[in-house]
Amino acid sequence: MRAIEIRQHLRKEPFRPFRIFLSNGIHYDIHHPELMYVGRTDVVIALKLGKDDIPDELAYCNPVHVTNIEPLANGGSKKSKRKRNGRK
């Protein structure tokens, strides 16, 4: 997927949480636009926020590995999730 297409999901107003799927089977839930950065060659996703709201864990991927983006029903859960092959 092109970076500009991914960024459009972050900039929609009002923002609606979504799930981003990668080519390796992993997906991430994005609940707030500040938890994701989209560059030309990198997508950076904050996975776990510390007590000071600074990310303790980040995921990096190339936009070409983003295969699909779907809205989360009812906004999904409160935490960003990583899931692969049916396991959290």
Q: Which amino acid is at 50?
A: G
Which of the four CATH numbers 3.40.50.300, 3.30.365.10, 3.30.565.10, 2.30.30.100 does domain 3-74 have?
2.30.30.100
How much is the CA Rg of the chain, to the nearest whole Å? 12
Q: How far, in Å, CA of 55 to CA of 45, rounded?
A: 9
Quote the DSSP letter at residue 26: -
Q: What is the pLDDT of residue 86?
A: 44
The amino acid sitting at 8 is Q
The answer to whether residue 87 scores a pLDDT higher than 50 is: no
pTM, 2 dp = 0.78
Q: Which residue has the higher pLDDT, 36 or 73?
A: 36
Residue type, 35: L
In this predicted structure, the answer to whether residue 68 has a pLDDT above a threshold of 60 is yes
Contact between 43 and 6 under an 8 Å Cβ cutoff? The reply is: yes
Residue ranges in the chain assigned as alpha helix (H): 3-11
Mean pLDDT, rounded, for 42-67: 93
